[in-house]
Amino acid sequence: MIKKRIKKRGRKLKRDIGKKEDSLSKEKTKKNKKEARGISFLKNLKGGEIILVKTDSSKMPDASIKIIKSLNEKKYSLIVLSTSRPYANLLNSYKENNINTEAIVVIDTFGSSKSKKDKNIISISNSSSLTEISLSISKCISTIKGKKFVLFDSVNTLLMHNDPSVLAKFIHFVLTKMRNNGLGGIILSSNSIANREVIDEIEQLCDRILNV
């Protein structure tokens, strides 16, 4: 009798373990499919689209690289407004991922110093210099030839250094200018951003809002 009970419990334990493993496997597959759908928008990206991409803070560096690499392969010239990482850090990441840096202009808000060889960096004193940033973006739009895209990396850092109402006006001005010039853009934002004034301003000017 005791042996039968032990065997019965053993079989039940195996079934429970099997069910748990199946459940974990399904969750993993579901997660991978969700991430694949999230990044798949890059395959059908249209030139003049402005897209808000929301993701977890921990995933933002990886999302930024994937976006830049995809646009790079599509032969777009890129204007990257970097408020989260300095130019040197970005340059290393681009090279590690075989990204053509000649087709990228980085507007660096860390006040990074540059040599005469650094033609692809515009150094801004800090992330609160919105007028300086706006003028730099406008200059890039007018001087860079061919099809181009702007990447904002990221809204969260800009919000940390600027008054929300001022930032909302800045975003409205820049995105409207991009729209009038037929210029596409991707705006990276963390899911944790709480200020509705800024998010509402961005969302009403975007063609798509995606979670990745």
Q: Which residue has the higher pLDDT, 184 or 29?
A: 184
pLDDT in tens, 87-129: 999 999 999 999 999 999 999 999 877 765 678 999 999 999 9
Claim to verify: residue 84 and residue 32 sit in the same structural domain: no
Out of 33-37, 130-134, 198-202, pick the least confident.
33-37
DSSP string, the chain: -HHHHHHHHHHHHHHHHHHHHHHHHHHHHHHHHHHHHHHGGGTT--TT-EEEEEE-GGGHHHHHHHHHHHHHHTT-EEEEEESSS-HHHHHHHHHHTT--GGGEEEEETT-----TT-TTEEE-S-TT-HHHHHHHHHHHHHHS-SSEEEEEE-HHHHHHHS-HHHHHHHHHHHHHHHHHTT-EEEEEEETT---HHHHHHHHHH-SEEEE-
Claim to verify: residue 142 and residue 184 sit in the same structural domain: yes
Q: What is the domain count for the chain?
A: 2
Claim to verify: residue 63 and residue 12 sit in the same structural domain: no
pLDDT at 14 over 70: no
Claim to verify: residue 102 and residue 170 sit in the same structural domain: yes
Claim to verify: residue 5 and residue 104 sit in the same structural domain: no
CATH, residue 153: 3.40.50.300
Claim to verify: residue 102 and residue 163 sit in the same structural domain: yes
Claim to verify: residue 68 and residue 100 sit in the same structural domain: yes
pLDDT at 164 over 50: yes
Q: What is the percent of the chain where pLDDT is above 90?
A: 59
Claim to verify: residue 33 and residue 49 sit in the same structural domain: no
Query: What is the span of the domain harbouring residue 26?
Result: 1-39
pLDDT at 33 over 50: no
Q: Are 152 and 116 in contact (CB under 8 A)?
A: no
Claim to verify: residue 26 and residue 61 sit in the same structural domain: no
